[in-house]
Structure 1
Amino acid sequence: MEISVLGAFRLAEAGRSYLPTAPKERQLIALLLMNAGTAVSVSTCLAELWPERAPRTARTTLHTYVMHSRNALASVPSIGSSANAHMVLETRDPGYVFHIEPGRLDAAEFHRHVSLGRVALAERDDETAVRHLRAGLSLWQGTALCDVVAGPVLATWVARLAEVRLAAQEWCLAAELRLGHHHDLLSEMTALVRHHPVNETLHAQYMLALYRSGRQVEALETYRTVVRRLRADLGVAPTAELSEMHQAILRGDPALDAVPQLAV
């Protein structure tokens, strides 16, 4: 059974989907998967499914959603029975726990690769860091849970996941720039700065890649563009990181030159 949340929500086996079609049942399963292996309280489930005001029958309706979810799980060939479905989606005080095997949930794999990448960065092993960060980032197929109606709990989780994705992209690009891969990164970075028009770290990295590729004029225009956006949209001046990159490019600082690591 493969479970995907880094894009459209999927719970499938052998190419067949086993997710319920009812929106709130999908929402509940997503909530439980977000906390896989940990009990999610009934009160949290109610707050997610009915954020403004839960109906008087909310607890009974929640139990019905759980029953329907277990029926869907029982039809998955690798689960195969109602008893096994109850073990996968367990009732445990103060609510419910969704159990999954390691490697089945793409979000968990993403976090695993990011953690390994950060360890490699701390050890100054950029090649290993890039390998893990790229492996994690490759799991994304769009906005997380893009086809699920998210209440306040899921929305917070989706936002945090997006922040980790962006951080992983920044860490990965920094490592690849240190490895001298600036030419290969330009297309990806062009798209990223368009998608994040006031992200100063990404713009500084993009400016560096342009400069190292012999495109100093474009690097300087990128700086002017992001500064205008920062002032117009946020009313702030550029940070030292971005300003220092701009000044270094203006004076042709030799420290900006790419120094690829040599194979050992």
Structure 2
Amino acid sequence: MQVAVLGPLSVQYHQESIVPTAGKPRQVLALLTLQAGRTVPKETLMEEIWGAAPPRSAATTLQTYILQLRRRITAALPRDATLRAKDVLTTSFGGYRLAVEPAAHDLYSFRDLVVGGTAAMEAGDARQAAVLLRDALALWRGPALADIPHGPLLQLEAIGMEEDRMQVLEQRIRADLMLGRYASLISELRMLTVRHPLNENLSAHLMTALYHLGSPWRALDEFRRLRETLAGELGVEPTPRLQRLHQAVLGGDVSGIQRSAGLAGLPGAVLSR
């Protein structure tokens, strides 16, 4: 079974899709895939579909959705298969469990690559970190669970996955900054700061890249934009870290810029590229 949730839901079993067309069974399958290999209680599935006030028929209707999913699994099984649909989508301990190997799940693959990239960053290997984190981000095909109706649980899951994606993107950009890839980052960071105008990390990355490309005035313009946006939207000032970065740019303090941007402690040869 091949599972993909980092975008539209895709669940392939023996190269056949088992994703139903109806919304509620799709929600059930999505929640099962996110908890692949673990039992999801029936109450959890019902909460996702009907919220805090499920109808009296909820348990029976849920069984119907599970039956529909098992029929799709059965249709995808080879004729000589020894497994049955109930072996793939099992009933256990008051819930249901979908058997999926971690290596066949894009979310698990994403997390494994992120762990490797983070370890490389901590070891000072920005080049390897950039490779692994870029590979992790390449697994995304759009917003998480883009084509699935979101109940309360899937909504939280999707928000969490998108937040993880943004953190990994920021970390990958930081790795590229460590490698001195300033010019190649400018257009990406310009686009990202338009999409996420309140994100201070992205603004800090853009200011750092602009400064190192010999455009300190453009870095100062980005700080002014961020400051005005924060004041207008939230009524707050940039954090002390961003203000220190601003002062370092004003004073041409390269080491201060590196510290404020989270790039301190790297070999000078890398920073000067």
User: Could you tell me how far 1:17 is from its partner in structure 2?
Assistant: 3.1
Q: Is the 8 A contact 2:18 2:69 kept in 1?
A: no
5+ long unaligned stretches in structure 2 = none
| Partner residue in 2 for 1:158 | 158
Q: 1:37 to 1:13 in 2, by over 3 A?
A: closer
Q: Give the Cα separation in 2 of the matches to 1:191 and 1:79.
A: 51
5+ long unaligned stretches in structure 1 = none
User: Could you tell me how far 1:12 is from its partner in structure 2?
Assistant: 3.1
Q: TM-score, normalised by structure 2?
A: 0.89
| Partner residue in 2 for 1:261 | 270
Q: Give the Cα separation in 2 of the matches to 1:79 and 1:97.
A: 23
| Partner residue in 2 for 1:144 | 144
| Partner residue in 1 for 2:114 | 114
Q: Give the Cα separation in 2 of the matches to 1:133 and 1:79.
A: 41
Q: 1:78 to 1:229 in 2, by over 3 A?
A: farther
The count of aligned residue pairs is 262
Matched position secondary structure for 1:20: coil
Q: Give the Cα separation in 2 of the matches to 1:88 and 1:105.
A: 15
The percentage of aligned residue pairs carrying the same residue is 36
Q: Give the Cα separation in 1 of the matches to 2:16 and 2:215.
A: 49
Q: What is the identity, as a one-letter code, of the residue corresponding to 2:220?
A: L
Q: What is the identity, as a one-letter code, of the residue corresponding to 2:171?
A: W
Q: 1:214 to 1:84 in 2, by over 3 A?
A: farther
Q: Give the Cα separation in 1 of the matches to 2:91 and 2:82.
A: 14
Q: What is the identity, as a one-letter code, of the residue corresponding to 1:115?
A: V
Q: Is the 8 A contact 1:73 1:79 kept in 2?
A: no
Q: CA RMSD in A?
A: 2.1
User: Could you tell me how far 1:181 is from its partner in structure 2?
Assistant: 0.9
User: Could you tell me how far 1:14 is from its partner in structure 2?
Assistant: 7.8
Q: Give the Cα separation in 1 of the matches to 2:224 and 2:14.
A: 51
Q: Is the 8 A contact 1:178 1:260 kept in 2?
A: no
Q: Is the 8 A contact 2:13 2:73 kept in 1?
A: no
User: Could you tell me how far 1:260 is from its partner in structure 2?
Assistant: 4.9
Q: 1:36 to 1:89 in 2, by over 3 A?
A: same
Q: Deviations along 1:2-45, whole A, 9 cap, x unmatched?
A: 32111111123687533111111110000011111111111101
Matched position secondary structure for 1:261: helix
| Partner residue in 2 for 1:51 | 51
Q: Does residue 224 of structure 1 match 2:224?
A: yes
Q: Give the Cα separation in 2 of the matches to 1:254 and 1:79.
A: 67
Q: Give the Cα separation in 1 of the matches to 2:14 and 2:85.
A: 18
Matched position secondary structure for 2:84: helix
Q: What is the identity, as a one-letter code, of the residue corresponding to 1:150?
A: H
Q: Is the 8 A contact 2:7 2:144 kept in 1?
A: yes
